[in-house]
Amino acid sequence: MSNSSPFISIVIPCYNEETNIRVGAIENVYDYLKQQKYSWEVIVVDDGSVDGSIELLNKVARLHKDIIVHKRTHQGKAHTVIAGVLKAKGEYILFTDLDQATPLSELNKFIPYLEKGVDVVIGSRDRRREGAPLIRSLMGPGFAFIRSSLIGLHEIKDTQCGFKAFKSETIKKIVMKLRLYKNAHSIKGSNVTAGFDVELLFIARKLGLKIAEVPVKWQYVDTRRVNPIFDSWNGLMDIMRIKLMDIQGKYS
């Protein structure tokens, strides 16, 4: 990589991901990117992990200078992604999950859209969610129905896929308008922040940005960080808060 801004920044949030790091998730990201012709950086933001994640991440970063690790206090996925986005220097920014449920190679499908001027490109998973437990498979359509009923975004099939790319100036403009996750504070336990992705896309639509939804490969990865009942309830509350704040004109 040159000293100039990279073509793309890959932002990866991490919370207690020791198992996935040990089986090579970050190395797989590196191995894929080093074969590409464009310049890049990887920013892994550790969300106050209490397992061996940060030690393993630092070890990987010492081996590969284009992988940057930032450690933060535990504030939840939304604030972890935001922190990575604000540190990113790429012309484009992709955020993706460390477990690589959607493999980074799917980025190849996004780049033509970004280069044609699309502001936001999001991954869309098959509705069948192959391999996922039944309750997870049912959560998706239910969440989409409630979201569409309250705040719209009818044209988007899958707001929750953790694989999204933006023009750098676009995502930073959106982040400045966030309301649900405007103020960071320390938390305890897992926090999936389902409303984060919805608010990002809601604001993008408010700004009149071009959004493309692209089918991507996705494989269920078992994780203790997802609590279907708790996360669904929080997602519903977040959608209601977005609706209320929109009525109050806070997204104007």
Instruction: Give me the DSSP letters along 158-220.
Output: -S--SEEEEEHHHHHHHHHH-STTSS-----S----THHHHHHHHHHHHTT--EEEEE-----
> Is 23 among the domain residues?
yes
> Is 72 among the domain residues?
yes
Identify the pLDDT of residue 136.
54
Instruction: Look up the CATH number of the domain holding residue 183.
Output: 3.90.550.10
Identify the pLDDT of residue 134.
47
**Nearest residue to 65 (alpha-carbon basis) of 95, 37, 42, 46:** 42
> Is 229 among the domain residues?
yes
Which residues touch 194 (CB under 8 Å, ≥6 apart)? 143, 160, 231, 232, 234, 235, 238
Q: Pairing state of beta strands 211-215 and 120-124?
A: parallel
Through-space distance between the first and last CA atoms of the chain, rounded to whole angstroms: 40
Identify the pLDDT of residue 225.
58
Q: Number of structural domains, the chain?
A: 1
Identify the pLDDT of residue 149.
78
Report the distance separating Cα 75 and Cα 84, nearest Å.
Answer: 13
**Nearest residue to 218 (alpha-carbon basis) of 99, 94, 102:** 102
Q: Are the C-beta atoms of 179 and 199 separated by less than 8 Å?
A: yes
User: What average pLDDT does the structure give for the chain?
Assistant: 88
> Is 2 among the domain residues?
no
> Is 118 among the domain residues?
yes
Identify the pLDDT of residue 1.
44
Q: Are the C-beta atoms of 21 and 56 separated by less than 8 Å?
A: yes
What pTM was estimated for this model as a whole? 0.88
Q: Are the C-beta atoms of 96 and 22 separated by less than 8 Å?
A: no
Positions of the chain with pLDDT lower than 50, given as ranges: 1-2, 134-135
Report the distance separating Cα 166 and Cα 174, nearest Å.
Answer: 10
Identify the pLDDT of residue 2.
44
> Is 252 among the domain residues?
no
The boundaries of the domain holding residue 40 are 8-247
> Is 143 among the domain residues?
yes
> Is 164 among the domain residues?
yes
Identify the pLDDT of residue 229.
64
- Amino acid 76 reads G
